[in-house]
Amino acid sequence: MEKLDFKQGQYVFRAGDGAGYLFLLIKGEIGIFLPTNETKEPNFPVGENEIFGEMGVIEDSLRSAGARCMTDCTVISLSKKEYEKKLNESDPFIKGLLRLLSIRLREMLKPKTLGSK
C-alpha cells in the first residue's frame, strides 16, 4: 500500500489504462467520468473513505472510466498483487461473488445498442 497525493484536476487513471491498483480515497473528492461524458460533472462522485478503481482489478480488465480529482486528494493505493493476496486469504465464495457483481455492474453501464432489449 502506498499513500499518494494528487492536485485538483489531476487524473488518478484514465479510461483504457491498465488496472494495476485500486484506491481508497482518504481526503478530497474524486469524479468518475465515463468515456462518453464531455462535461465537467462526473458520472459518479467518490467521497472520503470510499474505494474506487476496483472493477478493473477484480475483472483483470482495462479501466472503463477515468478518475479525476475534483479537489486536492489523498488516496491509498493497493496493488493488484496485494488485493489478490488479501482475497486469496478469504473465503473462495467471496472472490466469485465480487467478480460476478463487478461484471454485472459493468454490463449495466454499457450503452445499449439499437435492437437490444
Q: Is the pTM for the entire model greater than 0.95? A: no
- Asked if residue 71 is part of any domain, the answer here is yes
Residue 116 placed within a domain:
no
Residue 115 maps to a domain: no
Domain assignment present for 53:
yes
Q: Which domain holds residue 14?
A: 2-109
Edge-first strand order for the sheet with 51-52 is 2-6, 73-79, 21-27, 51-52
Per-residue pLDDT at 112: 59
Cα–Cα distance for residue pair 112/107, rounded to 1 Å: 10
Rounded to the nearest angstrom, the gap between the alpha carbon of residue 19 and the centroid of all alpha carbons in its chain is: 9
In total, how many domains does the chain have?
1
For 26-60, write each residue's pLDDT tens digit: 999 999 999 999 899 999 999 999 999 998 888 88
Task: Give the CATH number of the domain where residue 57 resides.
Answer: 2.60.120.10
Higher pLDDT, 2 or 88: 2
Q: Which of 55, 77, 74 is nearest to 65 (CA)?
A: 55
Has residue 91 been placed in a domain? yes
Query: How far is the first Cα of the chain from the last one, in angstroms, to the nearest whole number?
Result: 42
Question: What integer is the mean pLDDT of 82-101?
Answer: 83
Domain membership of residue 114 (yes or no) is no
